[in-house]
Amino acid sequence: MKVDHIELKLPAKPEYILVVRLTTSAIATRAGFGVDEIEDIKVAVAEAGNAIINQGMEMECLNFMYEIEGNTGLRIHITVSCPQDKPFSQPDVVQNELSLYIIESLMDEVSTQVSDGRLLGVTMYKKFGG
């Protein structure tokens, strides 16, 4: 299966989530999704960024890897780079649960990567015509 890869690396700061939304919309459009699906994907990817940033830990950057999988769907991996030796404050658990609930409602598949209570990554998938 032909897969097109696109990568985006941004400072893990709230002011860059706007860039994530715009880029995700453009990629979902390029992939061939409809208007409603593009909105779902945009919201879900931005919420993943929110959930990671909201943890109050010292982070360097957010990485977004998009994989347009032929004519089947779009897979997106969101990961964070952070210094492992830095402590982190208490995450906003309620806010993060809301983010993850929204993501699971909008996407067809969602998985999270958690280590020592830290959310370090989210992978999500939207199939065409799903």
Partner 1 sequence: MEGVKGMDIQYRFQESENTWMVRLIGEVDIYNAPQLKDSLLNLLNERQGNIILDCRELKYIDSTGLGVLISALKKAKEFNGSIKITNLKPYIYKIFSITGLDKIFTIEVQGA
Contact residues toward partner 1 (CB under 8 A) are 14-15, 17-18, 21, 36, 39, 43, 46-47, 49-50, 53-54, 95, 98-99, 101-102, 105-106
Cα–Cα distance measured from residue 125 to residue 103, given in angstroms and rounded to the nearest whole number: 10
**Minimum distance between the CB of residue 82 and partner 1, rounded to whole angstroms?**
17
Q: Using the minimum distance from each CB to partner 1, give the nearer residue, 74 or 100.
A: 100
**Minimum distance between the CB of residue 52 and partner 1, rounded to whole angstroms?**
11
**Minimum distance between the CB of residue 9 and partner 1, rounded to whole angstroms?**
18
Q: Using the minimum distance from each CB to partner 1, give the nearer residue, 36 or 116.
A: 36
Task: Please say whether the dihedral angle defined by the alpha carbons of residues 111, 94, 66 and 74, taken in this order, is positive or negative.
Answer: positive
**Minimum distance between the CB of residue 66 and partner 1, rounded to whole angstroms?**
20
What are the distances in angstroms from CA 42 to CA 2, 24, 39, 58, 104?
A: 23, 6, 5, 25, 13
Task: Using CA atoms of 16, 22, 23, 25 in order, give the dihedral in degrees to the nearest 10.
Answer: 140
